[in-house]
Chain A
Amino acid sequence: MSAARPAGGGALGVWLRGIVRGLAEIPDEYAAAFRRAPRRTALVTLLLALVVVYPFIYRYVFLPRQSALPLPLPDDTVMVFMLIFAALAIGLNIVIGFAGLLDLGYVAFYALGAYTAAFLASPHWHGVSLVLNPDVLPGSPGIHLPFWIVLWLAAIVAATFGALLGAPTLRLRGDYLAIVTLGFGEIVPIIFKNLINVDFALGPIKLVNANLTGGPLGINPIDPPTILGIRFGAISGFNAVYLGMVIVLMSIVIARNLERSRMGRAWMAIREDEIAAEMMGVNTVRTKLLAFGLGASFAGFGGALQASYQGATTSDFFQFSTSILVVIMIILGGMGNIWGVLLGAITVVYVDKTLLPWIGQRFGDIGRALDSPELARINPAQFNFLILGLVLVFMMRFRPEGLIPSTQRRVELHEAPPDQAIASAAVIADQAALATVAEQTAADAATEQALEAEAAEAEAPGQETPSQESREAEDQS
């Protein structure tokens, strides 16, 4: 309706009207997409619909018949973790996939997001009482902010630390950057683990035996996400799955919009050739800091969701292995491609949290049936990293570009040898030389042209190799 209102309200009004107009165009765009690629559009629509109704199907169709299923299906908690890790993977993909900066300490930002949510929506600071969340009893001890505010604050805190970490590492590349970020990823959870019994004095600030982070036990309980009185915590069934879907959808939109902007191009330029990018006027310092900061903000989303959903957070939750898990998701799914990264997150969480424990249970069943305690004790979930590592090795061997690769990666890893471009340049040069000869023998020009046209027709498929190849690459994307 705001579109119909008279002009006014300045930039915000213009923007809001733009949004409304954009939303109004969605049906038209959908119809256009359907006309362009009916099968693909139908498939995507079906898939999305399936995702949206899946929690219901799971609960009312599959859960009662679980023992009859050939393979286990993810339950509510696993679904939520799929979505949390999807947000993380989308964020890390900005740093690694878009800007080409290998960050192995991403878990630090996940931890920062979770602890920010814990600090701002729990009875942890029991000395104060600041209740701004209408779903929490007024006068309760501790700080209680509404979830939607906590979510954004967590993202801001994570982004700030992302930029702080980025600042000293900007001159580093490749392996060196990976090592420094790895260190940061170790330091942050350890700090959270150890900031208990803190004695500290600086001017007016005086802490005696202060419990800042809850130590090894972490912070517990944390307010569940509530919106208009509806709870989205772990005990509220699949509500949280939909909350997670909204957050992931938001993350996808933000990441896609960044990718298709001036900033996205600058990130990719830095990934391709940092020196050339700087020579073309890209402020590489600023751009890399933005990649770190904005990438980290998605981990803030993920952390806030984790803490609020589970109602507890501890530093043990944020191991180095979690960083690696997110990197595996990106590589498996397809570095640089948001949809691929999403698939990677879903697959890895499924294997890690549903498939492997289930296989362990089957070993248990078989072992008990055969009366063999050794067999019953086999638990593949214990060596999940061995299995994921093997998967990575096989991926690298057979499909290094990931399940749904970005076009860049596919071209990089599967194109004909680079000499081909030069070879085709030589062909074109030869043709130019031929053309010159043709001009000189003006008398035969007409015949020549006819011959050339024939030749061009005959050779057309061969000549067009480079552009044809790229067109194919684009078609597949």
Chain B
Amino acid sequence: MTVASDGARAVPLTGQVPDDRLLLRARDVSKRFGGLLAVNSVDFDIPRGSIVSIIGPNGAGKTTFFNMMTGYYTPSQGEITFDGQPIVWQKGKGARSRSPHEVTRLGIGRTFQNIRLFSTMSALDNVLVGMHSHLRSHWWDAVLRTPSMLAEEADAKEKAMALLDLVGLRRYADTWARHLPYGDQRRLEIARAIASRPKLLLLDEPTAGMNTGETRGMIAFIRQLRTELDLTVLLIEHDMRVVMGISERVTVLDHGEVLAEGTPDEVRRDPKVIEAYLGRGAAEA
């Protein structure tokens, strides 16, 4: 599957996604930490409007891959194109990457495996920070409180309240993020990610630490988001019920490589996947 790297590509890819149904296209992406090859030559596509998942045992390289898509890590090699724009491109022998805030502006929003809200800011302010890259006012507008800045702030507050409404947290708008119950913190994190107006929403274990009822609620919520906001969603998940219940395509990573790819049913029956998750004996049984 790996595209043969035909020498170094000096110019970043632009607008060359062969299939414009693809929102994100990753080719031959690798990440090496010292001697450890965390992600090894992974190809990965996300069709527009879909819900896809990456699963895999602990240490499979899922979060590393996530971090490369968002510009947090620069891959050792590879190319990632998002919505016709390069996020990672080859230059010389290595790869270059956009910085995270640029990637966010292009339209990738994310949540974190271990919640990373701005804990002593209000829920409303958390969402407003999410809108940061779409607000135009400069510091001198703030100092002078220009009419355009005041109008923009009022508008942003209104939109942020609407987002809090969407995730059911309007009544907590003035509460510190850290005072919210755990499930609500997860929802707030999603609201904050949506505030950056993403085309692609990356959710890193959105149901981690949730009970069955809360998990079911989260699945319904993610579906609702996709249809209401016209989003594409990529999940990293441990919980097989979530993955199987919601995804249209599943990619299994193990030891930094793509082990299997397909619909949830295909993946579930794949003996290699069963082996990776449950051990060799289980696959033969």
A282 at interface by CB-CB < 8 Å: yes
CB-CB under 8 A from B120, the residues of chain A are 272, 408, 411-412
Given the complex of chains A and B, what is the CA–CA distance between A273 and B214 in angstroms? 27
Interfacial residues of chain B within 124-147, with CB under 8 A of chain A in the complex: 125, 128-130, 132-135, 137, 139, 141-147
- Inside 8 A of B139's CB, which chain A residues have their CB? 258, 261, 263, 290, 294
The verdict on A275 contacting chain B, using a C-beta distance below 8 Å, is yes
CB of A276 within 8 A of CB of B116, answer: yes
**Given A278-B100, A470-B175, residue A425 in contact with residue B183 (CB < 8 A):** yes
* Selected contact of A254 from candidates B105, B121, B141, B143, CB within 8 Å: B143
Q: How far is the CB of B21 from chain A (nearest CB, A)?
A: 26
B157 to chain A, nearest CB (A): 11
Q: CA of A279 to CA of B172 in the docked complex: distance in angstroms? A: 23
Which residues from chain B contact A275 at a C-beta distance below 8 Å?
72, 116
Please tell me if the beta carbons of A18 and B146 are within 8 angstroms of each other in the complex: yes
A466 interface residue, CB < 8 Å from B? yes
Tell me the residues in window 256-278 of chain A with beta carbons closer than 8 Å to chain B beta carbons. Answer: 257-258, 260-266, 268-269, 272-273, 275-278
Q: Which residues of A contact B132 (CB under 8 A)?
A: 262, 265-266, 269, 280-282
Query: How many inter-chain contacts with C-beta < 8 Å in the A-B complex?
Result: 143
- Contact residues in A for B45 (Cβ distance below 8 Å): none
Give the shortest distance, in Å, between A253 (CB) and chain B (any CB): 8
**Which of A313-321, A366-374, A426-434, A454-462 is near enough to bind chain B?**
A426-434
Does any Cβ of B come within 8 Å of A467's Cβ?
yes
B176 touches A411 (CB 8 A): yes
| Chain B residues whose C-beta falls within 8 Å of the C-beta of A11 in the assembled complex | 146
**Partner among A18, A263, A265, A279 whose Cβ is within 8 Å of the Cβ of B121:** A265
Contacts of A273 in B (CB 8 A): 116-119
Q: A421 touches which one: B134, B135, B182 (CB < 8 A)?
A: B182
Selected from B70, B112, B149, B180, the residue in CB contact (under 8 A) with A261 is B149
**How many angstroms between the C-alpha atoms of A273 and B118 in the bound complex?**
6
- Using an 8 Å CB-CB cutoff, how does the interface string of A440-477 with B read, 1 for contact, 0 for none? 00000000000000000000000000110110001000
CA distance A283 to B180 in the complex (A): 27
Closest Cβ–Cβ distance, residue A168 to chain B (whole Å): 18
Among B117, B128, B133, B181, point to the contact of A425 (Cβ < 8 A).
B181
A283 partner, pick from B101, B128, B141, beta carbons under 8 A: B101
Does A15 sit within 8 A of B, measured CB to CB? yes
Inter-subunit contact B128/A261 (CB<8 Å): no
Which residue of chain A is the closest to B119 with respect to CB atoms? A272
Give the nearest-CB partner of B149 in chain A. Answer: A261
Contacts of B137 in A (CB 8 A): 261-262
Report whether B147 and A436 are in contact in the complex, using a CB–CB cutoff of 8 Å. Answer: no
> In the bound complex, how far is the Cα of B206 from the Cα of A428, in angstroms?
19
Asked if A14 is at the interface of the complex by the 8 Å CB criterion, the answer is yes
Q: How far is the CA of A376 from the CA of B72 in the complex (A)?
A: 65
A418 on interface, CB distance cutoff 8 Å: yes
- Asked if B179 is at the interface of the complex by the 8 Å CB criterion, the answer is yes
Contacting residue for B142 out of A22, A263, A280, CB 8 A = A263
A422 within 8 A of partner (CB): yes
| Pairwise interchain contact B143-A258, C-beta atoms closer than 8 A | yes
Which positions 408-427 of chain A face chain B at CB distance < 8 Å? 408, 411-412, 418, 421-422, 424-425
A15 near B146 (CB under 8 angstroms)?
yes
Complex: A470 Cα to B145 Cα, angstroms: 29
Whether, in the assembled complex, B261 has its beta carbon less than 8 Å from a beta carbon of chain A, the answer is no
A310 within 8 A of B: no
CB distance from A39 to the nearest CB of B (A): 24
State in angstroms the CA–CA spacing of A284 and B133 once bound together: 12
Contacts of A467 in B (CB 8 A): 172, 175, 179
Which residues of chain A (3-36) have a CB below 8 Å from chain B?
11, 14-15, 18, 22
Name the residue of chain B whose CB is nearest to the CB of A259: B142
Question: B196 contacts the other chain (Cβ, under 8 Å)?
Answer: yes
Is B43 part of the contact surface with A, judged by Cβ < 8 Å? no
Q: Smallest Cβ distance from B133 to chain A, in angstroms?
A: 3
Task: Give chain B interface residues in 93-115, CB to chain A under 8 Å.
Answer: 99-101, 104-105, 110, 112
Asked if B70 and A279 make an inter-chain contact with CB atoms under 8 angstroms apart, the answer reads yes
Q: Which of A262, A280, A421 contacts B180, CB < 8 Å?
A: A421
B28 touches A (CB below 8 Å) = no
Check if A470 sits within 8 Å of B121, measured CB to CB.
Answer: no
Indicate if the CB atoms of A261 and B118 lie closer than 8 Å. Answer: no
Please, how many angstroms separate the alpha-carbon atoms of A18 and B144 in the complex?
A: 10
- A284-B118 in contact (CB<8A): no
Return the 4 tightest CB-CB contacts between A and B, nearest first.
A281-B133, A261-B142, A425-B181, A281-B104
24 contacts between A and B (CB under 8 A): A18-B150, A257-B143, A262-B135, A265-B125, A272-B119, A275-B116, A276-B117, A277-B118, A278-B99, A279-B70, A280-B130, A281-B101, A281-B105, A281-B130, A282-B132, A283-B99, A411-B176, A411-B178, A421-B178, A421-B179, A422-B182, A425-B181, A433-B211, A466-B181
